[in-house]
Amino acid sequence: MTPPPANGPSKRDRREEAREKARVAREAAARKHRRNRVFLMGGIGLGILAVFGVIALVIFTSIRPAGPGPQNMASGGVLLQGNATTSKITAVKTAAVEAGAKPVATNQKKLDKTVNITVYLDYECPYCNQFETANEAQIKTWLQKGAVTYEVHPISILDASSQGTKYSTRSANAAMCVANYDPDDFLAVNTSFFKNQPAEQTPGLTDDKLISLVKAAGATSSKVASCIRAGTFEDFVSSQTKAALGSKLPNSSIEKLTGTPTVIVNGKQYSGSLTDAATFASFVSSQATS
């Protein structure tokens, strides 16, 4: 047998060295396990805090006051009427809905000399655009003749279609700002919003663009712009949307809103063509004589 070189490690030394390496490796693994456990528990703790944060936000949102609402929208909508002598269209003036209070439905029994048209709409809804574009001219003429009232309820069901900018809510808030400060210009603003309607799945119009459209339509109160930028009535928009989706629509037999536009004439829902003005005119006429 050839002996190992005189200057090399002995068999015993090699065994001790192996044991030492194994001990160091075990200790390193144990330290890594403890460190990972600390990180894991910390991550779980942060996750729990995040979940509680979301829950708290949902609870806060659900219990916070809904208003106050804008002036001239005591029913949750803007009620427009016309004067046959002057052809002037005006909004019925009302006090603001107080914070947390519920709107009071328009008493249509007192409006027995007109056909009463109510519409629930979303300014991002393309079908609402179809209805408004097809019928805005004849509705305006009917108003000028004092033949109808037109009650517009702006709501927001399409916020998810504006890439996170909440265009439905922002545009409804802008309309409510007009109702509050320049109510007699509401119909012109309503028409302008649909004429300039952005496509779904786009960011929608900016607040500055909404302000520009409002001014061009005749609503020139200096307070409208700041109201739009501040989102003053966004909570009211949300509360009115929630109410429409979850409860009976006033002055109708409709149990709840299922889509926009929802058009009601003297209590009866219109289900005809959205793009044929003659069809809608015929329906309005039938309700006037029924």
Mean pLDDT score, 238-242: 97
pLDDT, averaged across the chain: 87
Residue-wise pLDDT tens digits, 197-234:
999 999 999 999 999 999 999 999 999 999 999 999 99
pLDDT: which is higher, 49 or 102: 102
Give the residue among 183, 185, 187, 154 at the shortest CA–CA distance from 169.
154
pLDDT surpasses 50 at 56: no
pLDDT surpasses 50 at 58: no
Q: What does the pLDDT read at residue 11?
A: 61
Q: What does the pLDDT read at residue 23?
A: 74
Mean pLDDT score, 52-70: 51
Residue 176 and residue 121 in contact, taking contact as beta carbons nearer than 8 Å: no
Q: What does the pLDDT read at residue 31?
A: 72
Q: What does the pLDDT read at residue 26?
A: 76
Residue-wise pLDDT tens digits, 71-129:
999 999 999 999 999 999 999 999 999 998 999 999 999 999 999 999 999 999 999 99
pLDDT surpasses 90 at 69: yes
Mean pLDDT score, 178-184: 98
Q: Where are the alpha helices (DSSP H) in the chain?
A: 11-63, 126-144, 167-181, 186-195, 207-216, 222-230, 234-246, 277-289
pLDDT surpasses 80 at 49: no
Task: In whole angstroms, give the CA distance from residue 149 to residue 288.
Answer: 12
pLDDT: which is higher, 12 or 188: 188
Count of all residues that appear for the chain in the document: 290
Using the structure block, give the residue that is written with the tokens 């249509």. 108
